[in-house]
C-alpha cells in the first residue's frame, strides 16, 4: 500500500508547508516539511515527529498584544493544526520572524502497489508564510506596488485618526469621557468595516466582566444590556485566552476548538461569525478589552486590524485610567471632606451629650448677634440648670447621673427646633440656648413649655421637693437690653458678655425663687 503525495511540487512551493497523513487504518505518518518550511522554522531535517515539532518555541507578537514577557504559546499552534484543529494565526513570532500560520484538512487518493485507486486518506497540512509587520500587507516577499500604495494610504489615514482621537482624550473632561470612548469605537469599527465594537472591563479579580461601551452599525442589534456580570465560569475558554495572551482573534466562530463550546453557543445566539478582542491595560495590568464583531458575514482579520484595535485600545485605556484617577481623586477629596467634617463635629460637640460645646456656642452666638443687629431682629438667650443635680448624683451615682443628663439633653435638643436655635452644654449640668428671632415673651413662653415637658419625663429624685428632677431657666433679650443700655453702640463681644451675664443673673434668681421656674432679666 502507498500514499504518494506530489512531493516535488510541494518542495518547490515558496510557502512553507508541513503535512501529516492518516491512513484509513488510523496510522499517522511522521511530519513532513518542504524546503521553505525548513528555512522558516530553522529545521535541520525534513522528517520529524509531532513531539519534536511541539518543542519549537512560538510567541505572540508583542506589537499586537498589550501584555509583555509572555511565555511560549501553549498549546503549540503547529501541533494543533497537524492534529486536525483549525488554526489561522497572524499574530505569531518564531524567534523575531513574524509568521502567518494556517491549517488545512485534505482528503487525498490512496493507491495500491500497482497504482490503482484504493480509497482516500486524510492529510493535515499547515501553510506558513512570513508577515511584514512594517506594512499592512500579508506577504512581504511579493507585495505589489498597488498593495503597498493602499497600505501606505491606510497607514496615513489611520495615523490621522489616532491623532484626532488622542487629542480628544487628552482634552476631555471627566463627564465627556464616555462620549469620547463611544466615538473611538465608532471610528475603529468603521475603519475596520466591523459590525459591532465594544469595551468590556474586568472586576479586580478578573473573574467577572461588564460591557461598559458599545457601538453598532446600522441594522445591527445591541447586546450591551445582556452582557453584564459575565463570569469566568460562563466563558472559561475566553477568560483563559484573553488573560494569558491579551488577545483573541477568531476568523470564523464555526472553527472554535471544542474547549470553546460555551463561547461558540454565545456567538451563535448573537449571530456572530467573526470576533477579535485585544486587552486593555491600566498600570501594566489587564483591566478589560476592546473588541470587534462581524455579524453579516465572517471576516479574515488582518494584522492591520489587530494593530489598529490595539492602538485604539491603548487610547481608550489611557482615557479610562485618567477617568479612574479623577474618580479616585474625587473620592479621596470626599473622604477628606467627610473626615474634616467629622473632626469639626468632634471639636464642636460635647463628648457626653452630643450637644454643641461651649466653643461652638460662642461662635454661633456671635454670628447671630451680628445678624440681629444688622437686620434689627429679635434675639434671646437662655441659661438652664438642672435642679439639685449634685444631690441626685450622691443618691444614684455618676453612671445614672450621666444617664439622666442624657435624657435632659435629648429633651432640650427636641424642644428647641426652630431655625437657628442652638442648645449647648455650658458646664456640668448647665446649658445655654440661643434663640434667633425670638422676643422676650416668646422666649419666656418657650421656657415654660420646656418645664412642662421636663415634668412629663418624670425622672425620680427623692431629695427634690416635687420628688422629680426639674429645671431652672434664666432668660435675657437683646432688644430689651438695647433699649436700656444702648448696647448697639458696643462691639458684639461686649453685647455677648452682657447678655450672658443678664441671663445668668436671671437663672440665679430662679434658683432663689424655689427652682423649677422661668425668670427673665426684665
- Strand order in 422-425's β-sheet? 422-425, 430-436, 379-386, 471-477, 518-520
Alpha helices in 376-437 (DSSP H): 389-396, 398-415
pTM metric for this prediction: 0.61
pLDDT of residue 145: 47
Q: Please say if the pLDDT value at position 126 is more than 90.
A: yes
Please report which confidence band the pLDDT of residue 451 belongs to, taking 50, 70 and 90 as the band edges. very high
Mean pLDDT to the nearest integer, 323-331: 81
pLDDT of residue 114: 58
Q: Please say if the pLDDT value at position 505 is more than 80.
A: yes
Mean pLDDT to the nearest integer, 337-346: 81
For residues 262 and 236, the answer to whether their CB atoms sit within 8 Å is yes
What distances in angstroms separate CA 291 from CA 154, 197, 279, one per listed residue? Answer: 20, 6, 9
Measured in degrees and rounded to the nearest 5, phi and psi for residue 286 equal -65, 125
- Cα(332)–Cα(338) distance, integer angstroms: 10
Q: Is 429 a catalytic residue?
A: yes
pLDDT tens digits, one per residue of 175-208: 788 888 999 999 889 888 899 999 999 999 999 9
- Cα(89)–Cα(60) distance, integer angstroms: 10
Lowest mean pLDDT among 163-167, 231-235, 456-460: 163-167
pLDDT tens digits, one per residue of 470-484: 999 999 999 876 655
Name the more confident of 456 and 191. Answer: 456
Q: Please say if the pLDDT value at position 132 is more than 70.
A: no
Q: Please say if the pLDDT value at position 449 is more than 90.
A: yes
pLDDT tens digits, one per residue of 57-112: 999 988 888 888 888 888 899 999 998 888 998 889 998 899 999 998 877 666 55
Grid cell listed for 427: 458646664
Name the more confident of 199 and 283. Answer: 199
Q: Please say if the pLDDT value at position 131 is more than 50.
A: yes
Q: Which of 263, 303, 368, 429 is catalytic?
A: 429
pLDDT tens digits, one per residue of 28-41: 778 989 999 999 99
pLDDT of residue 113: 56
What distances in angstroms separate CA 501 from CA 358, 432, 442, 446, one per listed residue? Answer: 15, 12, 20, 20
Mean pLDDT of the chain: 86
9-23, 130-144, 146-160, 403-417 — most confident range: 403-417
pLDDT of residue 138: 43
By DSSP bridging, strand 117-130 and strand 97-111 are antiparallel
Which residue, 389, 462, 397, is CA-closest to 429?
A: 389
Mean pLDDT to the nearest integer, 299-305: 87
Please report which confidence band the pLDDT of residue 173 belongs to, taking 50, 70 and 90 as the band edges. confident
42-51, 151-160, 453-462 — most confident range: 453-462
Q: Please say if the pLDDT value at position 220 is more than 60.
A: yes
Q: Please say if the pLDDT value at position 344 is more than 50.
A: yes
What distances in angstroms separate CA 113 from CA 19, 83, 110, 116, 212, one per listed residue? Answer: 22, 28, 10, 7, 64
Amino acid at each position: 500500500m502507498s500514499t504518494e503525495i506530489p512531493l516535488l511540487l510541494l518542495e518547490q512551493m515558496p510557502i512553507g508547508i508541513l503535512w501529516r497523513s492518516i491512513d484509513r487504518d488510523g496510522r499517522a505518518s511522521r511530519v513532513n516539511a518542504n524546503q521553505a518550511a525548513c528555512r522558516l522554522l530553522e529545521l535541520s531535517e525534513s522528517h520529524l515527529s509531532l513531539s519534536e515539532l511541539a518543542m519549537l518555541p512560538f510567541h505572540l507578537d508583542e506589537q499586537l498584544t498589550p501584555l509583555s514577557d509572555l511565555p511560549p504559546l501553549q498549546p503549540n499552534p503547529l501541533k494543533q493544526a497537524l492534529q486536525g484543529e483549525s488554526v489561522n494565526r497572524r499574530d505569531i513570532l518564531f524567534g523575531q520572524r513574524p509568521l502567518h500560520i494556517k491549517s488545512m484538512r485534505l482528503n487525498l487518493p490512496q493507491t495500491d502497489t500497482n497504482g490503482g485507486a484504493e480509497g482516500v486518506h486524510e492529510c493535515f497540512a499547515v501553510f506558513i508564510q512570513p508577515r511584514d509587520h512594517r506594512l499592512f500587507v500579508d506577504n512581504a516577499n511579493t507585495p505589489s506596488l498597488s498593495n503597498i500604495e493602499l497600505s501606505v494610504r491606510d497607514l496615513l489615514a489611520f495615523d490621522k485618526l489616532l491623532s484626532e482621537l488622542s487629542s480628544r482624550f487628552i482634552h476631555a473632561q471627566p463627564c465627556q469621557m464616555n462620549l469620547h470612548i463611544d466615538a473611538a469605537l465608532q471610528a475603529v469599527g468603521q475603519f475596520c468595516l466591523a459590525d459591532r465594537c465594544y469595551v468590556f472591563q474586568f472586576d479586580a479579580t478578573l473573574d467577572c466582566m461588564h460591557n461598559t461601551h458599545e457601538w453598532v452599525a446600522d441594522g445591527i442589534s445591541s447586546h450591551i444590556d445582556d452582557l453584564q456580570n459575565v463570569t469566568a465560569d460562563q466563558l472559561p475558554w475566553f477568560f483563559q485566552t484573553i488573560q494569558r495572551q491579551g488577545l483573541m482573534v477568531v476568523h470564523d466562530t464555526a472553527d472554535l476548538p471544542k474547549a470553546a463550546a460555551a463561547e461558540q453557543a454565545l456567538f451563535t445566539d448573537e449571530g456572530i461569525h467573526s470576533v477579535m478582542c485585544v486587552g486593555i491595560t491600566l498600570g501594566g495590568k489587564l483591566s478589560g478589552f476592546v473588541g470587534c464583531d462581524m455579524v453579516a458575514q465572517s471576516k479574515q482579520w488582518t494584522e492591520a486590524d489587530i494593530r489598529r484595535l490595539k492602538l485604539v485600545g491603548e487610547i481608550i485605556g489611557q482615557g479610562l485610567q485618567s477617568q479612574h484617577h479623577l474618580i479616585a481623586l474625587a473620592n479621596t477629596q470626599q473622604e477628606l471632606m467627610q473626615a474634616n467634617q467629622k473632626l469639626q463635629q468632634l471639636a464642636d460637640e460635647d463628648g457626653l451629650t452630643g450637644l454643641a460645646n461651649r466653643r461652638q456656642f460662642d461662635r454661633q452666638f456671635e454670628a447671630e448677634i451680628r445678624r440681629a443687629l444688622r437686620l434689627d431682629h429679635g434675639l434671646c438667650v437662655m441659661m438652664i440648670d438642672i435642679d439639685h443635680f449634685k444631690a441626685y448624683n450622691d443618691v444614684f451615682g455618676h453612671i445614672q447621673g450621666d444617664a439622666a443628663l442624657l435624657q435632659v439633653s435629648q429633651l432640650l435638643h427636641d424642644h428647641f427646633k426652630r431655625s437657628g436655635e442652638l442648645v449647648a452644654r455650658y458646664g456640668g449640668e448647665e446649658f445655654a440656648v440661643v434663640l434667633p428671632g425670638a422676643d422676650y415673651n416668646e422666649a419666656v413662653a418657650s421656657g415654660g413649655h420646656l418645664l412642662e415637658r421636663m415634668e412629663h419625663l418624670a425622672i425620680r429624685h427623692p431629695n427634690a421637693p416635687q420628688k422629680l428632677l426639674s429645671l431652672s431657666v434664666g432668660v435675657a433679650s437683646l432688644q430689651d437690653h438695647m433699649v436700656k443700655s444702648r448696647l448697639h453702640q458696643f462691639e458684639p463681644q461686649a453685647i455677648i458678655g452682657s447678655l450672658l451675664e443678664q441671663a445668668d443673673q436671671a437663672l440665679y434668681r430662679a434658683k432663689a425663687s424655689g427652682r423649677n421656674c422661668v425668670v427673665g432679666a426684665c
